[in-house]
Homo-oligomer: A and B are copies of this chain.
């Protein structure tokens, strides 16, 4: 009897690329607000989502240094589970409900890639870095304070996909005034049998459920952002046309569930 929430399923269930939920996350986020061509963001919406008439084109580039744990002290095995991530979130509507949509996301860890696929995040591998803040004072410490600067980048297969800079100005009292939309995602898994390769086995529009969502120590300032053109990628189609504020904050939540909105598989 094979066990395991994911592949590889094995006699003891210890080889699975991921443990079953609950999945707990805590991380440091650098975010840059930007505006893309509304035609570009519209073109990236999956079936079931529509452009948000009031904000279409508005988006965030996000860079996160994540720590993950399940129920078995996975946070004590950082070589296997700690990871870094970069993604974009574009404004959209699910019916009349404001949501974000994630067209592109990159991680540097296979367990994170697999969990993402189960949620509907279209993850590929990349190399992601952000300036950290350290406690010991030094020109290298980058403390969180007015004027502090942070850099972030993501690359994949040797192509730089995004470069970002954030200069902090001041704390934001209520982070949820800035980051307040759930993320709509598409769980997608293809068929390979001949004649069915365009009929995915899984094609579900979902909305992520984030238990115990916490945003802490949110600072706002200026942002800089560029998406260099890269073969085999389409992130650069999002511009940006205009860059807005930059942010840094702490983010945590747990995943135990997923809202299935609609099943498009056939």
Contact = CB atoms under 8 A, between A and B. Distances in A.
Chain B CB within 10 Å, residue with most, of A5, A79, A232: A79
A252 B28 contact: no
Contacts of A153: 77-79, 158
8 contacts: A5-B190, A8-B103, A11-B40, A26-B142, A65-B132, A118-B191, A135-B217, A154-B158
A127 to B, nearest CB: 5
A28 B150 CA distance: 18
A124 interface: yes
A158 B234 contact: no
Interface residues of A, number: 109
| Oligomer: number of copies | 4
A142 B155 CA distance: 28
Interface stretch (A51-59, A67-75, A91-99, A176-184): A67-75
Given A67-B140, A79-B153, A21 B197 contact: yes
A100 interface: no
A253 B138 contact: yes
B138 A76 contact: no
A67 B186 CA distance: 31
Contacts of A117: 7, 189
B131 A78 contact: yes
A124 B17 contact: yes
